[in-house]
Amino acid sequence: MQLSYLSETPGIGGTLKNAPEDFIVEEVCEDGTILELDKLIERSGETNETEEQKWKEGKFTHFILQKTNWSTADAIREIARRLHISQTRFNFAGTKDKNAITTQLVSVFGVPPEQVRELGIKDITINGAWPASEKVELGALLGNRFRIKVSGITSKNPEESEKTVARIYEEVGGKFPNYFGEQRFGSTRKNTHIVGKFIITGDFEGAVMEYLASSEGEINNEAKAARKELAENKNFRTALTNFPKHLRLERSMLAHLAEEPDDYIGSLRRLPRNILLMFVHAFQSMLFNEMLSERIRESGKEIEPEEGEHLEDGSVIGKLIGYETETNEREEGVLQRYGIRRSNFRIKAISEISSKGSWRPLFAQLKDFEFSKNSKDVAVGRTDFSFNKNTETFTFSLPAGSYATMALREFIDAKKDIG
């Protein structure tokens, strides 16, 4: 569905992510430290001996991962392969965009810092590694800082586009609908929410076949052909031979199904818990987007708390629906459209991915917002940042869990055919 906008003013046009270097994301840690691009962070005052001793005591290594055109999952998978360990040993605060240059803090268990520093992987840089006593927890970040170039804007000159952006910023009050962005639904195939719906409704065969056999959006030709063949003949043993080696998770599921072709739950259990949770959360996210869009269509930015909601820092905190969520008539209507009940989020067959529900602000605030014609001070020290006519750069910070693409759609999109 077309998600509603806060602003009615047509945006400046243009496109995002024409190249990874045009979309820069720097993680902001809980202590306020910005993991700046290309900046090495070292823990001073430690000799090799003291570092080794600290690592032996805690067994965790924290490191700064800088990646270009890698999804977080794929980058971790490749690092795990190079280190000859399971990717389940890694933890991070949040996933980052694929078609971008990003930084983030990652932890790994059982690998000393020196081994991490010695990694040599194309388009992956380790900007520091040190011993730690605990893993990086999911959500343990303040937010992210963005520098994003928009190409091909339709405004006639920079002054016109600056006026348009200023008008929209004032119109929305420096905030935007806190929709989940497209990467929540998969980096390429965009079907994680579909898998999630199958799981939630107890159709585990449907979930397995959607994850393994759906070829829509698949960019690897070998993988696309293998998925299509599996969809047509449902021969798991043949699929295990055909699926490319880099699809390790899929191959693990297929290996199970080749021996137990009717055990779809067992096949899903071959996936890490965080991947299974991702499916459930993706479907919850889609529901959140639809419900928020409906409310904006009705009330604009003057949304008042409904039954069961509350205000936090002036923003309405909305619901991510789970089995414990108290729903109102509107929310029940959306659930009914998908044939879902709240109780479906209690997933008895895989209880560890059940979701009782959660909360999310309906709007997010743009902080340190700047908009300017591209100039060389936008990407100091970088030679790969491109400069073309009709390009502008947005710079801003967002709280953890908010999506830059959802902020920029207010300033870029034409806003046509919105009902």
Annotated catalytic residues are: 97
Cβ contact 92:136 at 8 Å: yes
Strands 90-92 and 13-15: unpaired
112 DSSP β-pair partners: none
Q: CB-based contacts of 296: which residues, under 8 Å, 6+ apart?
A: 4, 5, 6, 177, 303
Inter-CA distances, 395 with 67, 122, 146, 147, 372, Å: 20, 27, 6, 5, 9
Helix (H) or strand (E) holding 237: helix 236-242
Cβ count near 320 (within 10 Å): 19
Q: Residue 232 is which amino acid? A: E
Inter-CA distances, 181 with 16, 23, 257, 282, Å: 13, 15, 33, 10
Inter-CA distances, 254 with 215, 217, 248, Å: 16, 21, 10
DSSP state of 410: H
Q: CB-based contacts of 405: which residues, under 8 Å, 6+ apart?
A: 16, 181, 182
DSSP state of 44: T
